[in-house]
Amino acid sequence: MKVLIIGSGVAGTACAQAMRRLDSHASITILSEEPHLFYSKSLLAHCFSHSWGIARLALCGPDSYQRLKLKALTSVRAEEIDTDKKIVRAGDGQIYPYDRLLISTGASPNFPSNDIKGLDKKRVFGLRNFADVVGIRACLDKLRAKKTDVRAVVIGGGLLGLETAYHLNQAGLNISLVESQSRLLPTVISEDLSRWLGLEERFARHGYELKLASQPVEILGKEGVEAVSIAEGTKVTQLPADIVLVATGVVPKVGLAQDCGIEVDHGIITDERQQTSAPDILAAGDVAQTKDLLTGDSSVFPIWPAAVEQGRVAASNILGQDVQYKGGVNLNSFQFFDLPVCCLGLVELGNGAGREELVYQSQSPRVYQRILIEDGYIVGASLAGDISKAGAIYAWIREKRPVADKKEKLLEAISCSSWR
């Protein structure tokens, strides 16, 4: 059987590895439009504070592909899928036939060019692959040759925005951060945790200039960036900028699937077996839209463990086993400055959703633990300071263990700082 995988990211690689474990004979080909084999995109921002090269991010050496007998082609962009003839036409002029096809093209940075003018100017970057790191580094080197005080404006106060800002700051840049909502990480942490953490104040204390509840309007400058104009309500101000990082989320790369008539919503729509609407074509990872374990809706889970799991589910189904994806649960973790934070599943109480919360807070040591319960099951948790119970709670969420009359005991469990 010929299996073709488009995209050498987390899902694609997990699928290939799992497939090889299950079947030693299938011919597996991976097409990657990037010049590098599988590497960690989650660590891209770290490259600025550590001066890491691609070798530090690489997760699979060429020898491991050889050992698994995987044919991996780099710098080959899949241009078109012909679902009738079961072939993929690629940018290198070749035609790749398949019996089963996995689309794991991932996502690309969202450039909101409708809302912000001038995003095509020089020194405006997104951060999604290693080429971006190389570009940003080259740009920083040029800027540093001219002046000592380099200013970066980061647009977007989500996880990617904060992480990029954090590591650029470590690299010695002055940072201004623009977020349209009135707090940082609006989609990641609950309002309650946000107040308790006081991230805004912490970032400000470390010298970051935060512009909250501000809408970036235009990137100003002749050729390259000189400033960013932002609107705070009706007041329009300008932030001086030498370089701009756009971190306003990512969009699944659905173009390839859309063009050949596969059903697409936000991502490529897949069922529990990662099967798309086209026969013998599956999708997994950041590009796939799949079942949400907690709400039952269909959504995209752009997180590492979900990509691995979906890739493995796809692998089993490609080889004819009937394996279903349990459904995705959002997992986010971060640590800026001293406090580690983990957020699992749903984070907000929600109006009228009938959710209950169990909360434990302490100031010394600084610990925040909050579990959300809906219809007798744990549906979410936010943990800060002490994250040691995160794994146990995630098991409760995933396996849908009934809480029943154990609420008090649960509260007791999250209230003790250590389990000894």
- The residues that touch other proteins, with contacts defined as CB under 8 A, are 14, 40, 42-43, 46, 59, 304-305, 308-309, 331, 333-335, 338-340, 342, 344, 387-396, 406, 409-410, 413, 419-420
- DSSP, residue by residue, 387-399: -TTHHHHHHHHHH
Distance CA 246, CA 110 (A): 8
Closest separation in Å from C-beta 262 to other proteins: 27
Burial of 106 (0-12, 13-18, 19+ CB in 10 A): buried
Q: How far is the CB of 95 from other proteins (least distance, A)?
A: 34
Cβ proximity to other proteins: between 28 and 57 the closer is 57
CB of residue 401 vs other proteins: minimum separation in angstroms? 8
* Tokens encoding 212: 């909250």
Given the complex with other proteins, which of 14 and 254 has the nearer CB atom? 14
The residues, any chain, with a CB within 8 Å of residue 99's CB and separated by 6 or more, are 1, 2, 3, 86, 280
CB of 34 to other proteins, least distance (A): 17
- Phi and psi at 104, nearest 5°, equal -135, 60
In this structure, how many other beta carbons lie within 10 angstroms of the beta carbon of residue 384? Answer: 21
At closest approach, how far in Å is the CB of 385 from other proteins?
9
**Which of residues 9 and 221 has its CB atom nearest to other proteins in the complex?**
9
DSSP state of 86: T
Whole-number Å distance between alpha carbons of 226 and 28: 48
**Residue 63 or 419 having the CB closest to other proteins:** 419
CA distance 101 to 83: 10
134's enclosing H/E stretch is helix 130-146
* Six token digits for residue 223: 């050729």
Instruction: Give dist(CA 308, CA 203) in Å, integer.
Output: 33
- DSSP 8-state code for residue 250: E
Instruction: Report d(CA 110, CA 179) in Å as an integer.
Output: 15
Interatomic CA distance for residues 146 and 125, integer angstroms: 20
DSSP lists the bridge partners of residue 381 as 344, 371
Give me the least distance between CB of 236 and other proteins, in Å please. Answer: 38
For residue 355, the minimal CB distance to other proteins (Å) is: 19
Asked if 6 and 78 count as a contact pair (C-beta separation under 8 A), the reply is: yes
Q: How far is the CB of 290 from other proteins (least distance, A)?
A: 17
Measured from the CB atom, the residue of 212 and 387 that comes closer to other proteins is 387
- Minimum Å distance from CB 158 to other proteins? 16
d(Cα 271, Cα 99) in Å, to the nearest integer?
A: 19
Shorter beta-carbon distance to other proteins: residue 148 or 418: 418
Q: Give kind and range of the element (H or E) at residue 315.
A: helix 304-318
Identity of the residue, 242 or 309, whose beta carbon is nearer to other proteins in the bound complex: 309
Q: Where are the alpha helices (DSSP H) in 214-279?
A: 255-259
Closer Cβ to other proteins, 102 or 344, answer by number = 344
How near is the Cβ of 29 to other proteins at its closest, in Å? 23
Residue closer to other proteins by CB (options 215, 333) is: 333
102 neighbors 12 (Cβ within 8 angstroms):
yes
Nearer to other proteins, 138 or 395 (CB): 395
